A and B are shown apart, each in its own frame.
Chain A
Amino acid sequence: MEVQTLCAEDCLNQTIEKYAELVYRLAFSQLKNQSDAEDVLQEVFLRYLRKQPAFESEEHGKAWFIRVTVNRCRSVWSSAWRRHHAELDESLAAEDPDYLDLRAAVCALPKKYRAVIHLFYYEDYTTAKIAALLRLKESTVRAQLTRARAMLRERLKGDWDGF
């Protein structure tokens, strides 16, 4: 029993090490709020503990965490509390001045575009993979990506290129 517990704790620690930052960054990019992102992080791992999913591969595990995180963020958005309260955008307050414009531009994007942008530019997923993760059509993901880029371009006024 004790061996099992130790093993479980060890596995959990490894999983945390592997996926905590991924989950937190994705949640933060979605919710723009440290507290909410931390809540989502805990809930995702609580769900992981409850479900104890067996991952076939590291990629599978990553996809599972992304999927659960996105769903959890949607739940937060749709919660009654969230719908009746303005979200606190902490992302800009602590931002490095070098990235302030970029963060502001990304945060200004509609919610559904933020996930696509994050998964595409940070997690290096293809549009097909993003479509599978978000359960959208690939054409939808491509359209969202195109629109998000156009908005970012407009907002950043050509500070960066290479979209």
Chain B
Amino acid sequence: MDFKEKYRQMNERIVPSPAVIRALAELPVRKQRRLGWMRGAVPAAVCICLVLTLWMGHGMKIAEDSSKAFLNNQAPPPEAGGKVSLSGGFRMEEKAAAEDDVPADQGSSEEVELRGGTLHLNRKLSSDRAETVLPEVNAEMKTTEEAAELLGIPEGMLPPELPADLQEGGLFSVQMDSPSGRAEFSYRADGEELRSVVLRFTAGDSLRKPSGIGSLIGGVQVWAFYEPGREGSPEKYSAEFRIDTVSCQVETENLTRTEFTALLESLLTGGE
């Protein structure tokens, strides 16, 4: 027997099952059923698409809001050429827990406990800057400390010329642009216009000695530093106040709320 005959015989035995043949014969009926079902399915699909579109639009709005909120809480990395905004405010004893006093545009806040008082460190990015940062890189930075550490510059800083209403919840912000070495310190007391001073710094400088500090308004320099604890050492919050040639440095370890308040008051009234 040659190959062709053998191949033919082998294939003759291959036949579709009767059930399949019956199914084929019923195809027109099933097709009609399917079409009937599809007639109802098309409007349903349109409705579902419409609902999904609306829902996704709503979701995107939420995502946009979340993104803004996210960016408001993140500091851009120096290599990205972004800017970091640090802001903070002081609450005196009676106001310490009153969150209603914090302006809405303050951004998220984290509280650094001082003995007897609370320091709010806030991070904020203006909306136009938020568009220039890289979220995936920002996502790596969870805390203000990490951002400051990356930038190598002080994290929290009080502006010069503390206004009298600081005790009522004034806010300060520090915006740093690492590649250009430019830092802009802004202060806004409640109800006041934004004041700002531009300083220059060099990334990597000591926390205590930001270089290139220009003369500040009114001859008063007030610096507040947050120093993250490293290798077992505790976190430290310190403030350095300079009035002309007189300087005073305080740290959280030695600082009581009363002392701190008194110090601020003395500064505000031009005391020693």
Residues of A within 8 A of B (CB): 5, 8-9, 12-13, 16, 20-21, 24-25, 28-29, 37-38, 41-42, 45-46, 49-50, 95-96, 99, 102-103, 106, 117-118, 121-122, 152, 156, 160-163
Q: Which of A28, A41, A161 contacts B2 (CB 8 A)?
A: A161
Least CB distance, A100 to chain B, in whole angstroms: 10
Least CB distance, A50 to chain B, in whole angstroms: 8
Known contacts A24-B14, A24-B16; A41 and B3 CB within 8 A of each other: no
Q: Is the CB of B4 within 8 A of A21?
A: no
In order of increasing CB-CB distance, the 4 nearest A-B pairs are A162-B2, A99-B10, A24-B16, A160-B3
**B194 interfacial contact with A, CB 8 Å:** no
CA distance A12 to B23 in the complex (A): 12
| Extra contacts besides A12-B25, A45-B27, A162-B3 (13): CB < 8 Å | A9-B28, A12-B24, A12-B27, A12-B28, A20-B16, A21-B16, A24-B20, A49-B27, A99-B13, A102-B6, A121-B7, A160-B3, A162-B2
Q: For B3, list chain A residues within 8 Å (CB).
A: 102, 121, 152, 156, 160-163
Interface size on B, residues (CB 8 A): 23
Total inter-chain residue pairs, C-beta < 8 Å = 79
Q: Which of B7, B13, B24, B31 contacts A41 (CB 8 A)?
A: B24
Q: For B20, list chain A residues within 8 Å (CB).
A: 24, 38, 41-42
Q: Is the CB of A41 within 8 A of B16?
A: yes
**B246 interfacial contact with A, CB 8 Å:** no
Least CB distance, A81 to chain B, in whole angstroms: 21
Known contacts A16-B21, A21-B15; A102 and B27 CB within 8 A of each other: no
**B1 interfacial contact with A, CB 8 Å:** yes
Q: List 24 A-B contacts (CB under 8 A).
A: A8-B28, A12-B24, A12-B25, A12-B27, A12-B28, A20-B24, A24-B15, A24-B16, A25-B14, A41-B16, A42-B20, A45-B24, A45-B27, A96-B10, A96-B13, A99-B10, A99-B13, A102-B3, A102-B10, A106-B7, A118-B11, A156-B3, A161-B2, A161-B3
Least CB distance, B219 to chain A, in whole angstroms: 73
Q: Is the CB of B7 within 8 A of A102?
A: yes
